[in-house]
A and B are shown apart, each in its own frame.
Chain A
């Protein structure tokens, strides 16, 4: 079946090009010419989905295989969803317009917890059973990947399996195994395939485990129920970034998307060791691409798209060992082609400022820094190796170069935080304002401070720490607001209501799937869009399921408690995380292992991986 959207449908919705495909570089294959149909979904609207680098990589990797066709699918916006439900139009793939139900796999990229309601909504719009146990033999396998796999339990019952870690190799193994299983007559049915899959490194099949809880109702253990299931699933990891395929022909959207530019991934991993940061533990160790390989990729992508903007992306791009030379080379390579380059995040030092200045020759849009905490004490707690002097030096370099706008990111509710730390945010911002006056002799700077509410995440040193209640977040937000006296400081903060729900789900166990189901059934969707977020629906859902939300978000776990996320692991050991927690409380720093000493986090030995950093190689 092919879905044919009538003009009256498309004329009635906002941005119809979200649903009409045919973009340049989209890959169209004859439906019957391949043995495996993979739909890759990002459970958010097209413009967000088209900006996700991980999916771009997987799309190309899968489509390079002759035996597999990969298509894209995103969450229809609410106007389109209403029409689809009204007219019984099922969710479809953007290449072939076949219903998702006819695919073999529906893969979701799971970027953050508050997108789960959209996952359920898309599964439902596709006409599949929401709970994996109910799915029939002919329904696609629902698979999850992305950052959220480091605690899959709250959504475990909706998924047939998960891909843990970096997926470009593993997803091909999944496709191969599927085709074999299919050609061999689908031995053992769905369960047969899943059991076979469970033998692959990095695959987690939740239905092959038993979960137990103790008398007090705390999570006790998760244990394999069949021999194929492994007690612990380590993430997959690409050892040599130069040997795996990357994006060469990104799909070029017709309409503006969130990141409407080329994304050149310099390296993976960041070992600066910020103790709140899940990305920091989950992508270890650092593995760089070589400069020449990057130049080659940049050339291919510019030629394939005609884009004139390129972002040099990574978790902390300024740490790339040959960044200065790379930028010079790229300037040379694209001379006269009017391509501009940008860094998504800046390190707080003058090297970064000089580079940003060079890259943005004339246009001086705002600069963004992330001191994360307002006092040196608290920055030491979180291992953010940045001092006030660093920030003032960096901003003064920026002001000298002509910047007039600075954005500072902070977090609120970090472990050991006191009112003094909160007031410290205001003081720090005001010092930046005065720095501007000192450097330029004028007023007229704007310092935007953006403060998010801290959500403790699995596999970080803060994974045991109880999150603040909403009221306390709000009190601290008011305190900060009252502490700001400079008019040049603009204060923006996150919705604490959303953060406390995220806090519960982030460290939830399998019992929360009922809550997520209930919230979705009661209308939760697009929770990340502040105007669509339905706070009451979520709290009602917890109540209806008889689950106390504070048990999950506010409760501090004890070190001897079993944690429901430890069986899907990025490879950092519990010992390391505990050590880091002790050091946090003691306000002592841990070195970056990229060029410093190994802090024995466990990743390299357990995954047989090693750091790839070209500066390190050369010494």
Chain B
């Protein structure tokens, strides 16, 4: 098997499709590209795809990562061109690299993509509804806070998450056109993480950050491991 890692986007056109559907988009694109894909065994063979981290519904990204396997060792330009041509609106192929497996004698395989990702960088845009100074004060308070807790309510669970443990950098506030922009650098760990939307929601509810939460747009800028973009780890 020959493994490749692709850095792709999730554009505004398809921001409202789920992670599972996004995976389906990639699966069909690889099939359309007529790449000799490797399939899982079993009754219902599936293409072997591995993603770094699921993106929430509504979030765009310029740094999604997917690993896939081919049964033939094709050269990078061929795979790149074929895949690029088969992708639909909303997905662009930015980079592609073959994944070099460590020497078999070491008895190890290359780490799974999901285990490699440690950090995700986001930009959050939202209309300002009040005073800029107030917004700046809120962010300052948040950055200085010892801890900050948000509630995650899903049909299955209702839990409290301490956010600050995941904030790798202070949140940066700026203006971008008419919109407020918040830069967030969030840790993804084996035991969990927090979503940028949850941080924003918490800031609005608990610190009265003067932005229109409902109209916020979130964008993922990069995903890193060992401080490097995931594409540079292979």
In the complex with contacts A338-B39, A338-B45, A362-B43, A7-B217 CB distance below 8 A: yes
Q: Is the CB of A23 within 8 A of B88?
A: yes
Q: Is the CB of A306 within 8 A of B21?
A: no
In the complex with contacts A7-B215, A10-B58, A362-B43, A16-B16 CB distance below 8 A: yes
Q: Is the CB of B29 within 8 A of A306?
A: yes
User: Which one of A7, A22, A363 contacts B44 once the chains associate, using CB atoms below 8 Å?
Assistant: A363
Of chain B, the residue at the smallest CB distance from A20 is: B16
Instruction: Provide the bound-state CA to CA distance between A252 and B24, in Å.
Output: 11
| Per-position 1/0 for A15-41, Cβ under 8 A of B | 011001111100000000000000000
Instruction: Provide the bound-state CA to CA distance between A172 and B45, in Å.
Output: 42
Q: Is the CB of A363 within 8 A of B214?
A: no
The answer to whether B31 has its CB under 8 Å from any CB of chain A is yes
Instruction: Provide the bound-state CA to CA distance between A362 and B42, in Å.
Output: 9
With a CB–CB cut-off of 8 A, which chain A residues contact B50? none
Q: Is the CB of B21 within 8 A of A256?
A: yes
In the complex with contacts A7-B58, A22-B89, A362-B43, A254-B25 CB distance below 8 A: yes
Q: Is the CB of A306 within 8 A of B32?
A: yes
With a CB–CB cut-off of 8 A, which chain A residues contact B32? 303-306
The answer to whether B227 has its CB under 8 Å from any CB of chain A is no
* Of listed A21, A256, A304, A308, residue having the most chain B CB within 10 A: A308
With a CB–CB cut-off of 8 A, which chain A residues contact B39? 338
**A591 vs chain B, min Cβ distance (A):** 41
Q: Is the CB of A11 within 8 A of B28?
A: no
Q: Is the CB of A22 within 8 A of B217?
A: no
With a CB–CB cut-off of 8 A, which chain A residues contact B217? 7
Query: Which residues in chain A, 263-312, are within 8 Å of chain B measured between CB atoms?
Result: 303-308
With a CB–CB cut-off of 8 A, which chain A residues contact B24? 254
**A310 vs chain B, min Cβ distance (A):** 13
The answer to whether B136 has its CB under 8 Å from any CB of chain A is no
User: Which one of A8, A254, A303, A308 contacts B17 once the chains associate, using CB atoms below 8 Å?
Assistant: A254
**A358 vs chain B, min Cβ distance (A):** 15
In the complex with contacts A10-B58, A256-B21, A306-B28, A22-B215 CB distance below 8 A: no
With a CB–CB cut-off of 8 A, which chain B residues contact A256? 21
Of chain A, the residue at the smallest CB distance from B11 is: A22
The answer to whether A83 has its CB under 8 Å from any CB of chain B is no
Instruction: Provide the bound-state CA to CA distance between A8 and B39, in Å.
Output: 39
In the complex with contacts A8-B214, A363-B43, A17-B88 CB distance below 8 A: no
Of chain A, the residue at the smallest CB distance from B28 is: A306
**A212 vs chain B, min Cβ distance (A):** 53
**A106 vs chain B, min Cβ distance (A):** 25
Residues of B in contact with A, size category: 20 to 34
The answer to whether B57 has its CB under 8 Å from any CB of chain A is yes
With a CB–CB cut-off of 8 A, which chain B residues contact A254? 14, 17, 21, 24-25
In the complex with contacts A306-B27, A338-B45, A255-B13 CB distance below 8 A: no
| Per-position 1/0 for A250-262, Cβ under 8 A of B | 0010111000000
Q: Is the CB of A22 within 8 A of B90?
A: yes
User: Which one of B30, B43, B88, B214 contacts A252 once the chains associate, using CB atoms below 8 Å?
Assistant: B88
User: Which one of B31, B44, B216 contacts A306 once the chains associate, using CB atoms below 8 Å?
Assistant: B31
Instruction: Provide the bound-state CA to CA distance between A303 and B82, in Å.
Output: 13
**A250 vs chain B, min Cβ distance (A):** 12
Q: Is the CB of B88 within 8 A of A16?
A: no
With a CB–CB cut-off of 8 A, which chain B residues contact A255? 17-18, 21
Q: Is the CB of B215 within 8 A of A17?
A: no
Of chain B, the residue at the smallest CB distance from A13 is: B16
Of chain A, the residue at the smallest CB distance from B71 is: A336
With a CB–CB cut-off of 8 A, which chain A residues contact B90? 22
The answer to whether A560 has its CB under 8 Å from any CB of chain B is no
Q: Is the CB of B13 within 8 A of A11?
A: no
With a CB–CB cut-off of 8 A, which chain B residues contact A23? 88
Instruction: Provide the bound-state CA to CA distance between A308 and B34, in Å.
Output: 12
Residues of A in contact with B, size category: 20 to 34
Of chain B, the residue at the smallest CB distance from A21 is: B13
| Per-position 1/0 for B69-105, Cβ under 8 A of A | 0000000000000000010111000000000000000
Q: Is the CB of B31 within 8 A of A17?
A: no
With a CB–CB cut-off of 8 A, which chain A residues contact B89? 22, 24
With a CB–CB cut-off of 8 A, which chain A residues contact B44? 363
* Of listed B16, B32, B214, residue having the most chain A CB within 10 A: B16
With a CB–CB cut-off of 8 A, which chain B residues contact A338? 39, 45
Q: Is the CB of A17 within 8 A of B43?
A: no
Q: Is the CB of A22 within 8 A of B13?
A: yes
**A249 vs chain B, min Cβ distance (A):** 11
User: Which one of A10, A11, A24 contacts B88 once the chains associate, using CB atoms below 8 Å?
Assistant: A24
**A386 vs chain B, min Cβ distance (A):** 31
**A8 vs chain B, min Cβ distance (A):** 4
The answer to whether A6 has its CB under 8 Å from any CB of chain B is yes
With a CB–CB cut-off of 8 A, which chain B residues contact A252? 28, 88
With a CB–CB cut-off of 8 A, which chain B residues contact A11? 57-58, 214
Of chain A, the residue at the smallest CB distance from B34 is: A303
**A183 vs chain B, min Cβ distance (A):** 33
Instruction: Provide the bound-state CA to CA distance between A6 and B16, in Å.
Output: 12
**B82 vs chain A, min Cβ distance (A):** 12
Q: Is the CB of A306 within 8 A of B86?
A: yes
Of chain A, the residue at the smallest CB distance from B20 is: A256
Query: Which residues in chain A, 304-342, are within 8 Å of chain B measured between CB atoms?
Result: 304-308, 337-338
Q: Is the CB of A305 within 8 A of B28?
A: yes
**B234 vs chain A, min Cβ distance (A):** 25
Instruction: Provide the bound-state CA to CA distance between A252 and B17, in Å.
Output: 13
* Of listed A17, A23, A303, A306, residue having the most chain B CB within 10 A: A306
* Chain A to chain B: the 5 pairs with minimum beta-carbon distance, closest first: A306-B28, A306-B31, A16-B16, A306-B32, A22-B13
Name 12 extra pairs, CB < 8 A, besides A16-B57, A254-B24: A6-B215, A8-B215, A20-B16, A22-B89, A22-B90, A24-B88, A24-B89, A252-B28, A306-B28, A307-B31, A308-B31, A363-B43
| 27 A-B residue pairings within 8 Å (CB atoms) | A7-B216, A10-B58, A11-B214, A16-B58, A17-B14, A17-B16, A20-B16, A22-B13, A22-B14, A23-B88, A24-B28, A252-B28, A254-B14, A254-B17, A254-B21, A255-B17, A255-B21, A306-B27, A306-B28, A306-B31, A306-B32, A306-B86, A307-B28, A307-B31, A362-B43, A363-B43, A363-B44
Task: State the B residues within 8 Å of A (CB).
Answer: 13-14, 16-18, 21, 24-25, 27-32, 39, 43-45, 57-58, 86, 88-90, 214-217
Task: State the A residues within 8 Å of B (CB).
Answer: 6-8, 10-11, 16-17, 20-24, 252, 254-256, 303-308, 337-338, 362-363
